[in-house]
Structure 1
Amino acid sequence: MRFGGDLAVVRWFWAVGVPAVSAGLVVGSGLLSVQGPDVLAATAPGRVVITLIGLAGYCVALFSQLRYTNVIVFFGAFLALFTGLNLLSGAVTDDALHQRGELTSCTVRTVLPVSVTSSDSEGRTQTRIRYAYDLDCAVPTVTAMSTDRRVAAPGDRIDVLYDPWHRLDPRIPDGDEDSQWLPGLLLLALAAGLRLLCEYGVWPFRAHW
């Protein structure tokens, strides 16, 4: 019985515990970045430490997925896990800006489209357009902003939400946009559920290619 109990602990550790550790590292990194002391968040060595903590969370998630050889679990849990971690990271940033962010009125000086190139997990290159704004704001420290879609033209007056601690990028206020916490946690639960089904050999999630 003890062996069976020990085996169950191992299964739950890999299926549920590891995603929880990954989420804790990613969320902890985000909290240190936006809410942590200046010795960490406002210095180059501190920011390196914070970045490494976040990367550790993603690496734990990535390498733990190699345990699962079932195609459905490998790809399904991978997508759910990493999308969930990204949503949780974004939720930390959104919450911080909503809690302490302040509005300032700005005049748009110029708007420039900027090509941003990134690579996916399979090495395929993707290019998207972001819009960079040069701003003249009532708060002199707010001078620029970027968005995924064009929200204003040169000469327009807009309200911009900015971080008085200068740790987060300014953005257009998003009103009552839904929090990313719930979908992020649901995706982590989905990933853990798929991994747990594989651990217990439930068809069609049992280990095989």
Structure 2
Amino acid sequence: YTCMAVPLTPTQRRVLDFLREFVERHRFAPTAAEIASRFGIAVKNGFYYLELLERKGYIRRKRHHPRRIEFVGENLSRSAVRIPVLGRVPAGGPREAIEEVEGELLLDSDLVGEGEVFSLRVRGDSMTGAHICDGDHVLVRSQARAEEGEIVVAVIDGEATVKRFRRWKGKVRLEAANPAYPPIVVPVGAPSFRIAGKVVGVYRKL
């Protein structure tokens, strides 16, 4: 999978939405001072958000024409969808629960496919054999079941981990893709265990 834009935090998304709404209403872009006034921040931070949104590929500013902005990051596809990033998930072991939204990815809907999809950021190296590395974002389709050999986000005692799903001697065996990590074995139907979703893609920032 190829991500179409660098992810934005919720605050950055609000600033981008404000820029778009301002341009639609006035037919020209707000200044850094007007952005600062809208969000109650210093003018230098208004400049910061403009520079950041341009650097991340969402806008293009016209030099010597501060009132002219071109929105580019979301025009690459008419069918782009926003994928929420739900914090981090360790790949080394289940230590951290899936928690609050920390940003979002913008992807073409053809890449995402059907169903409800979210993203988690991986921490650890237990899935490197499956080309999932520390710092990657995995794209996860929400579902409670998995087929043999699929890579899933599993939740154990409220904490999440990325592993390959196997059935083994009447139990669930969650296997790493790195021989340095032992498998995690849990009873089928254990109340402390559930599958949060199936990994359907990986986004890596180069």
Q: Normalized per residue, which structure has more strand?
A: 2
Shared fold per TM-score greater than 0.5: no
Greater RCO (CA < 8 Å, at least 6 residues apart): 1
Q: Normalized per residue, which structure has more helix?
A: 1
